[in-house]
Amino acid sequence: MIDQPTWRSVLVSYAAMAAIPLSLWAVSRPLAAVAVLAAAAALFVGVRRAPGLARCYRECRGIAFDLGGTVRVTIAWEPTRDPA
C-alpha cells in the first residue's frame, strides 16, 4: 500500500532534485559558490535585522554602526553629539 504524499515529502523531494545540479555547479565553480553562499548569508542576516533597524531609525532618528571596533558611523536626520 502506498502512502499519500504530504507537503513536507513533496518539498523534500524537490529540494533533493535541486541539490544535485547545485552541488555539481558548486564543485565545478568553488569561488563562485562561496561568493553566492556569502551573499545569501548576508541577505539572510540583513532581512532579519531590517525591521529592528527601521524601528530604531524611526524612534531615535538615527543609526550608529561600529566598524571593526575602531570606527563609528552615525547616520541621523539632524546633527548629533555621539559620545563614542
In this prediction, residue 11 carries a pLDDT of 95
User: Is 57 buried (19+), middle (13-18) or exposed (0-12) by CB count in 10 A?
Assistant: middle
Domain boundaries, the chain: 7-76
**pLDDT tens per residue across span 9-47:** 999 999 999 999 999 999 999 999 999 999 999 999 888
pLDDT-derived band at 61 (thresholds 50, 70, 90) equals confident
- pLDDT of residue 84 exceeding 60, the answer is no
The pTM score is 0.53
Tell me how far apart the alpha carbons of residues 65 and 79 are, in angstroms, rounded to a whole number. 16
Q: What integer is the mean pLDDT of 1-11? A: 85
* List of E strands, the chain: 62-67, 71-76
